[in-house]
Structure 1
Amino acid sequence: MPAPVIGLTTYREDAAWGVWQQRADLLPTLYADAVEATGGVPVLLPPLAQVGAADAVAARLDGLVISGGADVDPTRYAEEPHPRTAGWRPDRDAWEVALLDAAEAVGLPVLGVCRGMQVMAVHAGGVLEQHVPDLVDHERHSPGGDAFGETEVVTLAGTRVAGLVGDHLTVNCHHHQSVRTHPGYAAVAHAGDGTLEAFEAPGDRFCVGVQWHPETAADVGLLAGLVRAAAVYADSR
């Protein structure tokens, strides 16, 4: 059976390499490495505005990862921006929402990572907590700079996420926002401070969002689960 093709959404940022400094479509290599290590073929998906592009992409993929990144534009969930909400990318928001529409239409397996989970919630009509430290009185979910925070997560027994990562685990996280409401998704993992750390859609389709970064960990159970689901999806087409 051919290896399933997994699309990874990307940043569009000013970047520098060699003698060049210009706009670039990029993503940390850990994402592609993790997909390859679990048997998939990674393909990068830069933000596109072309009408029909998301449908064309979804028709050619076997699985989709909505990657981490900047805050989601709060106007997408009808709220004013918190003073700490910044740097949202309307082009990427629109592209990833379109990809989620296209993925849902064809039953494509989806994994949302950090921001990706938040985009999934907003796509479903949910609302975000714009600054988690206001709720939990600490910043361990995002300690600052390029460092990840370590968070203990407990999963809900009998769920897809629990079957992939176990009943509890220590995760790498880097987020100052989280999901407040998530229509259509079941909450399946929380941190000790009550922060929602994972949700999943009911039914057979793999449709999972996690607030942590599974691509950074030695245990890539979530990505392995996505790749397996993608292989089944590809075989069924």
Structure 2
Amino acid sequence: MKQSLIGITTFIGKNNQEVPKRFIDVISREHGVPVLLPEIENEDLIKAQVENIDALLLTGGDDVDPALYDQDPHQKLGNIEPERDEYEWKLIDYALERDIPVLGICRGSHMLNIHEGGTIYQDIYSQIEEGTELIKHQRNDSKEHFTHKVNIKKDSKMYDIVKQEEIFTISNHHQAVNEVAPGFQVAAKTNDGIIEAIESTEHDFVIGLQWHPEERYHTDESSQNIIRRFVEAAGK
């Protein structure tokens, strides 16, 4: 039986590219073969990367450059990585063209939505309309296992995966999907109305999550189901 190759995008540092080991662990636990995708510039080689994987996992990281969705930078915009944005844009081009499964986590969800014509809030705490009382979406301590509730829409693929209308998630973000891209629908929100999951209505498995199933995988059934279904979809 052929095991699926799961391409995982990397975090770009000053002199290296790396990825948190938890992404590798959860994919391998579900018998997928993790393949780290280093950022490169040659478009033919990027296309070859996508042609040699069975699914694409877009990981988290710094903020997305607002120029990609035709906005000026907000005062609360964090660090951006234009080179990573450009690279991942091309990865998504070829992944959607091939119609392979794509799972975007946090920043990865934003990239998916922007790529397909949507927008994001550059900072939910200062851009959400006045009078909306937001819950806490961003950690103060990276070691804290911070969770909040997410409400899953019953008519979504996400509900078909987790089989629950309400789950607890680990989340850490100050940005979020604003205008949902054409061809996508909202699959989950928090109690304060922040979009926590989007999914393609045109592809079998193209999903963006604001939360981090890789961080709760070892103790949480819904997180396990998400990773499992992603790897299973790669094998179809």
Q: Which residue of 1 aligns with 2:220?
A: none
1:59-85: per-residue Cα shift (whole Å, max 9, x none)? 110011010000000011111111111
Please name the residue that 1:160 is paired with.
Answer: 157
Q: Distance in 2 between matches of 1:160 and 1:150?
A: 22
Unaligned runs of 5+ residues in structure 2 are 218-222
Q: Quick one: distance in 2 between partners of 1:107 and 1:212? A: 23
Aligned equivalent of 2:139, options 139, 143, 146 = 143
Bigger CA drift: 100-109 or 146-155? 146-155
User: TM-score, normalised to structure 2's length?
Assistant: 0.91
1:58 aligned residue (27, 38, 50): 50
Q: Percent of pairs identical after alignment?
A: 30
Alignment of 1:41 onto 2:33: yes
2:170–2:215 CA contact under 8 A, matched in 1: yes
1:228 alignment partner in structure 2: 232
Q: TM-score, normalised by structure 1?
A: 0.90
8 Å CA contact 1:148, 1:174 repeated in 2 = no
Of Structure 1 and Structure 2, the greater strand share is in: 1
Output the CA distance in 2 between the equivalents of 1:59 and 1:199.
Answer: 25
Amino acid at match of 2:224: V
Q: Aligned partners of 1:41, 1:4: CA distance in 2, in Å?
A: 6
Deviation at residue 158 of structure 1 after TM alignment? 3.0
- Are 2:86 and 1:114 equivalent residues in the alignment? no
Q: CA deviation at 1:139?
A: 6.2
> CA distance change for structure 1 residues 215 and 97 in 2, over 3 Å: closer, same or farther?
same
Cross-structure match for 1:85:
77
The alignment's C-alpha RMSD in Å is 1.4
Question: SS of 1:220's equivalent?
Answer: helix
1:172 paired residue among 164, 170, 173: 170
| Alignment partners' CA distance in 1, 2:80 and 2:105 | 16
Deviations 1:141-166 (A, max 9, x none): 11224145312001111321111122
Secondary structure at the residue paired with 1:119? helix
Alignment of 1:1-80 (within 5 A): 1-14=1-14, 23-80=15-72
Structure 1 residue 171 displacement after superposition: 0.4
Cα displacement (A) at 1:46 = 1.5
Separation in 2 of the partners of 1:162 and 1:79? Answer: 33
Q: How many matched pairs?
A: 224
How much has 1:223 moved relative to structure 2? 1.3
Change (3 A) 1:131 1:149: farther
| 1:221, distance to aligned residue in structure 2 (A) | 1.6
Name the SS of the counterpart of 2:160 in structure 1: helix
